[in-house]
């Protein structure tokens, strides 16, 4: 049977070779940036799906790049799956919708009309969720690199990959610079022979809606304004990865089946009797532990869906708790409101990486229920690796309750660790900005970079100074 992902990898490789050929024979009209022109940058991420983490980090990437390069000197184009769902992410950039059916040609055409590519997806290279997104990221980076344009992965995480995807990324990204958000990712790329540098995620500098807005939403949902809050951010961990399936594609288009698991064109979420039972167990164990902890500590429980896809998990968890807690899902609330809500919590249980990142500036104590390496990497950096469990861990509810019960006594000590970790990440984000500026200088020596000096603080978006102070 045709392996569609492998077929797409080969098509992308073909377009990369074509780009290289055209560049070598001076057939590309915009091979290099020229003085006096705006630097045209093409940003690719997982935007247009109301994924709060993806939208927050890309909004901050745009702000940081505009600050470092000079907003009036650049033109940014942002890849999106749905222009309507990326409204409010920022200003002064245009949106380009990804045509999934013909994306290799689309990347080829956009590469010719831009002076550089910045891959913005956090889970940049991994087979955990889908190979498709990594093929898009690697394809765009490779085409830019062979044309001697700016080719940067910004704040990237590298996870487990199947052999074919690993080989594809290894070939496509040899000449790109991948700035990683943690050391394990950097070491993986080093082992693959890919240029890499140390960085971090970019969500650390995000400024949410005022706390008064979050408090108003919570009061409307039944909060008395005094109770401490436990926030829970569930997902469906077991319907990944998304893979192409020709049989289900036929049934979807001609028999109107598999509507809930369809992810676009020929790709579908994992949906088996076994995965549905795993999801049910995860929800019940999560409900068991958080329900007891809420009663013991007299907490107000709140469920937050960081992506519109999480609504099913949020509703299932809410239905398993009594009294039924309020749900705030990103299909109804924007990223500013969601992050403001996250920062009202005293404690958190999350399977979403960015729920943890975005709540850390408020020193929220979190327990992670991990799908992959992202949450363990973040907690290990804090020195709090013990606050992480796998989503399919035996006796998940008992182990989670044990960790939650220890949090009140650990609040002060772990709060200090969280504050120190946030400061470290802000510094790394500033240093990442310096690395980015140096790469621009290497590729385009004549580009008039603003003189920001050698202090890493100067490379953060301006409002980040408030967070640091």
pLDDT digits (tens, 9 = 90+) for 303-345: 999 999 999 999 999 999 999 999 999 999 999 999 999 999 9
How far is residue 438 from each of residues 69, 206, 407, measured CA to CA in Å? 11, 24, 43
- Kindly report which listed range (78-87, 300-309, 428-437) carries the lowest average pLDDT score: 78-87
| Placement of tokens 């590469």 in the chain | 111
Query: What is residue 266's predicted lDDT score, i.e. its pLDDT?
Result: 84
Q: Predicted confidence band at 467 (pLDDT cuts at 50, 70, 90)? A: very low
Q: Predicted confidence band at 30 (pLDDT cuts at 50, 70, 90)? A: low
Q: Is the pLDDT of residue 43 over 90?
A: yes
Query: What is residue 1's predicted lDDT score, i.e. its pLDDT?
Result: 57
Query: What is residue 248's predicted lDDT score, i.e. its pLDDT?
Result: 84
Q: Which residues contact 220 (CB under 8 A, 6 or more apart)?
A: none
Share of the chain above pLDDT 90, in %: 79
CB 404 within 8 A of CB 346: no
Q: Residue range 416-445: average pLDDT? A: 96
Which fold is adopted by the domain 211-421?
Rossmann fold (3.40.50)
What phi, psi does 270 have (nearest 5°)? -65, 130
Q: Is the pLDDT of residue 184 over 60?
A: yes
How far is residue 411 from each of residues 116, 366, 407, 416, measured CA to CA in Å? 45, 10, 6, 9
Query: What is residue 85's predicted lDDT score, i.e. its pLDDT?
Result: 80
- Kindly report which listed range (83-97, 136-150, 314-328, 440-454) carries the lowest average pLDDT score: 83-97
Whole-model pTM over 0.85: yes
Q: Comparing 85 with 50, which gets the higher pLDDT?
A: 50
- Kindly report which listed range (87-91, 259-263, 270-274, 386-390) carries the lowest average pLDDT score: 87-91
Query: What is residue 252's predicted lDDT score, i.e. its pLDDT?
Result: 81
Q: Residue range 443-459: average pLDDT? A: 95
Query: What is residue 92's predicted lDDT score, i.e. its pLDDT?
Result: 75
Instruction: Characterize 368-380 residue by residue with b for buried, 16 or more Cβ atoms within 10 angstroms of its Cβ, and e for exposed.
Output: bbbbbbbbbbbbb
Decide if 4-206+425-468 and 211-421 have a common fold: yes
Q: Predicted confidence band at 243 (pLDDT cuts at 50, 70, 90)? A: confident
Q: Predicted confidence band at 426 (pLDDT cuts at 50, 70, 90)? A: very high
- Domain 4-206+425-468: top CATH class: alpha beta
Share of the chain above pLDDT 70, in %: 96
d(CA 132, CA 165): 10
Sign of CA dihedral 86, 87, 89, 93: positive
Q: Which residues contact 339 (CB under 8 A, 6 or more apart)?
A: 52, 56, 206, 208, 209, 358, 359
β-partners of residue 151 are 117
**Token pair for 10:** 């080969």
Q: Which residues contact 448 (CB under 8 A, 6 or more apart)?
A: 35, 70, 73
Query: What is residue 29's predicted lDDT score, i.e. its pLDDT?
Result: 53
Q: Residue range 126-154: average pLDDT? A: 95
Q: Domain coordinates of the chain in residue numbers?
A: 4-206+425-468, 211-421
**Token pair for 106:** 């689309």
Query: What is residue 464's predicted lDDT score, i.e. its pLDDT?
Result: 46
User: CA 24 from chain center: how many Å?
Assistant: 35
**How does pLDDT run across 88-110, given as a tens digit for each residue?**
776 678 888 888 778 899 999 99
User: CA 166 from chain center: how many Å?
Assistant: 20
Q: Is the pLDDT of residue 3 over 90?
A: no
SS (H, E, C) the chain: CCCHHHHHHHHHHHHHHHHHHHHHCCCCCCCCCCCCCCEEEEEECCCCCCEHHHHHHHHHHHHHHHHHHCHHHEEEEEEECCHHHHCCCCCCEEEEECCHHHHHHHHHHHHHHCCEEEECCCEEECCCCEHHHHHHHHHHHHHHHHCCCEEEEEEEEECCCCHHHHHHHHHHCCCCEEEECCHHHHHHHHHCCCCEEECCCCHHHCCCCCHHHHHHHHHHCCCCCCCCEEEEECCCCCCCCEEECHHHHHHHHHHCCCCCCEEECCEECCCCHHHHHHHHHHHHHHHHHHHHHHHHHCCEEEEEECEHHHHHHHHHHHHCCCCCCCEEECCCCCHHHHHHHHCCCCEEEECCHHHHHHHHHHCCEEEEEECCCHHHHHHHHHCCHHHEEECCCCCHHHHHHHHHHHHHHHHHHHHHHHHHHHHHHHHHHHHHHHHHHHHHHHHCCCCCCCCCCCCHHHHCCCCHHHHHC
Q: Is the pLDDT of residue 468 over 50?
A: no
């Amino acid at each position: 049977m045709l392996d569609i992902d492998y077929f797409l990898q080969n098509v992308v490789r073909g377009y990369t070779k074509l780009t290289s050929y055209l560049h070598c024979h001076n057939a590309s009209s915009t091979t290099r940036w020229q003085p006096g022109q705006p630097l045209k940058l093409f940003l690719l991420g997982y935007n247009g799906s109301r994924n709060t983490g993806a939208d927050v980090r890309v909004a901050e990437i745009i702000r940081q790049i505009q600050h470092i390069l000079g907003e009036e000197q650049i033109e940014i184009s942002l890849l999106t799956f749905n222009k309507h769902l990326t409204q409010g992410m920022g200003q002064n950039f245009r949106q380009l919708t990804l045509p999934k059916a013909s994306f290799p040609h689309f990347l080829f055409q956009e590469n010719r009309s831009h002076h550089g590519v910045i891959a913005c997806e956090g889970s940049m290279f991994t087979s955990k969720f889908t190979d498709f997104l990594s093929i898009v990221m690697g394809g765009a980076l490779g085409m830019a690199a062979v044309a001697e344009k700016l080719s940067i992965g910004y704040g990237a995480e590298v996870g487990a990959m199947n052999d074919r995807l690993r080989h594809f990324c290894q070939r496509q990204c040899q000449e790109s610079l991948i700035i990683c958000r943690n050391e394990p990712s950097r070491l993986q790329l080093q082992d693959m022979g890919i240029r890499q540098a140390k960085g971090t995620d970019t969500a650390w500098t995000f400024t949410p809606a005022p706390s008064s807005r979050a408090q108003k939403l919570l009061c409307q949902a039944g909060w008395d304004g005094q109770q401490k809050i436990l926030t829970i951010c569930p997902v469906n961990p077991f319907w990944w990865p998304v893979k192409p399936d020709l049989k289900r594609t036929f049934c979807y288009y001609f028999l109107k089946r598999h509507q809930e698991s369809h992810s676009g064109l020929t790709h579908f979420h994992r949906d088996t009797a076994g995965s549905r039972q795993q999801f049910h167990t995860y929800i019940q164990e999560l409900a068991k532990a958080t329900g007891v902890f809420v009663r013991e500590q007299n907490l107000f429980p709140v469920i937050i869906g960081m992506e519109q896809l999480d609504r099913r998990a949020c509703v299932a968890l809410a239905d398993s708790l009594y009294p039924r807690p309020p749900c705030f899902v990103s299909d109804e609330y924007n990223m500013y409101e969601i992050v403001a809500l996250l920062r009202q919590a005293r404690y958190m249980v999350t399977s979403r990486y960015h729920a943890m990142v975005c709540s850390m500036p408020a020193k929220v104590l979190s327990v992670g229920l991990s799908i992959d390496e992202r949450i363990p990497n973040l907690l290990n950096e804090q020195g709090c690796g013990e606050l992480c469990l796998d989503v399919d861990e035996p006796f998940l509810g008992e182990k989670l309750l044990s960790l939650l019960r220890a949090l009140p006594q650990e609040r002060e000590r772990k709060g200090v660790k969280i504050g120190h970790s946030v400061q470290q990440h802000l510094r790394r984000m500033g240093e990442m900005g310096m690395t980015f500026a140096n790469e621009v200088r290497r590729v385009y020596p004549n580009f008039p970079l603003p003189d920001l000096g050698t202090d890493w603080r100067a490379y953060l978006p301006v409002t980040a100074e408030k967070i640091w102070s």
